[in-house]
Amino acid sequence: MSSRLAPAYLILPSFFLAAFIILFPLWDLSQLATHNVNRFGQIRYFSGFENLLAVLDDSLFYQSLWRTVLWTVGVVGGTILLSFPIALILNEDFAGRGLARVIIMLPWSVSLTMTAIVWRWSLNGQFGLLNKTLQDLGIIGEPIVWLASGATAFPMQIAIGILVSIPFAVTVFLGGLSSIPADIYEAARVDGASPWQQLRTLTLPLMRPFINIALVLNVIYVFNSFPIIWVLTQGGPANQTDILVTYLYKLAFRFGKMGEASVVSLIMFALLLAITLLYTRMVIRDEQTR
């Protein structure tokens, strides 16, 4: 065996294992999506595109799809915008920096389900902590039933999604900031560069790969995030906070429409794959033009 072929043979077992883990569920979902399936998952007969047409004919699908876009953009965008300045602050040398880093990472140590349960208590319209705090501060006069309407529940869910996503993004950014040599900042200061100029011309370009990592991973993670919305509202009231993953769950386990749920799952996979490939291509093209 030549030395050039050795690395390929070493990678092949892992490649085949990864391919099996990815392709077998896709094949299984394709079988369910193209057959009539009872609520117990038993395949009855081939139905072609019947399940797909049923999903495309459901207005709740399009509402959930649009809400998924808002949810993903809101949570990921808010996370990146807040996490980067937090990482810049935590990267500085100051008294209590270790404690500050621990506090920022604390939400990461608690499961999303537990976090959502605590926030559901806090958002209670009668005895919730949020209403009590806002009333004590004089911001509101009467308690607000936060989870009774999609107009208030969905923005609160996005805010909670940002809160629980910050620790991961901050960790990625801190890793990137620690890899930047301090010498280049010393040279920039000697040349008279202001802190803003250093950030714009040094930090941001050097942090671009880490920002890309945080963006892609957060999009995948947030797009499929289930616990926050389900624990707080279960997609209600009146399906006003449903996203694709909660819509899929209801189709499969509440209404027993396993075939249609499989179609939605395949659509979600295709959307995530397209977003990831498009963004990766944009990053590669950007790197080639630099």
Q: What phi, psi does 35 have (nearest 5°)?
A: -130, 160
241 touches 116 (CB < 8 A): no
- What b/e string do you get for 204-221 counting C-beta neighbours within 10 Å, with b at 16 or more? eeebeebbbebbbebbbe
Secondary-structure class of domain 49-289 per CATH: mainly alpha
258 touches 44 (CB < 8 A): no
**pTM of the predicted protein model:** 0.89
Here the contacts of 204-208 (C-beta below 8 Å, separation 24 or greater) are 206/176, 206/180, 207/84, 207/173, 207/176, 207/177, 207/180
Tokens linked to 14: 């892992």
Which amino acid is residue 180, in one-letter code?
I
Helix (H, G, I), strand (E, B) or coil at 46: strand
Which amino acid is residue 165, in one-letter code?
S
Alpha helices in 106-226 (DSSP H): 112-122, 129-136, 150-178, 183-190, 195-198, 204-223
Tokens linked to 176: 């990137």
User: Could you give the angle at the alpha carbon of 135 between the alpha carbons of 237 and 236, nearest 5°?
Assistant: 5
Q: pLDDT (tens digit, 9 = 90+) per residue, 130-157?
A: 998 988 888 888 888 999 999 999 999 9
Helix (H, G, I), strand (E, B) or coil at 44: strand
Helix (H, G, I), strand (E, B) or coil at 73: helix
Q: pLDDT of the chain along its 290 residues, tens only? A: 455 555 666 677 777 888 888 888 888 888 888 888 887 777 888 888 899 999 999 999 999 999 999 999 999 999 999 999 999 999 888 888 888 888 888 878 888 899 999 999 999 888 889 998 988 888 888 888 999 999 999 999 999 999 999 999 999 999 999 888 888 888 888 888 888 888 888 888 889 889 988 998 899 899 989 999 999 999 988 899 999 999 999 998 888 898 999 999 999 999 988 888 888 887 777 666 66
d(Cα 217, Cα 18) in Å, to the nearest integer? 18
- What b/e string do you get for 26-45 counting C-beta neighbours within 10 Å, with b at 16 or more? eeebeebbbbbbeeeeeeee
The single-letter DSSP state of residue 94 is -
Closest alpha carbon to 47 in 281, 276, 263: 263
d(Cα 230, Cα 245) in Å, to the nearest integer? 9
What is the maximal distance between C-alpha atoms in the chain? 78
Q: pLDDT (tens digit, 9 = 90+) per residue, 5-19?
A: 556 666 777 778 888
150 touches 241 (CB < 8 A): yes
The single-letter DSSP state of residue 3 is T
Helix and strand counts by DSSP (H, E) for the chain: 13, 2
Q: What's the confidence (pLDDT) of residue 120?
A: 94
Kindly list the domain boundaries of the chain, sorted by start residue. Answer: 49-289
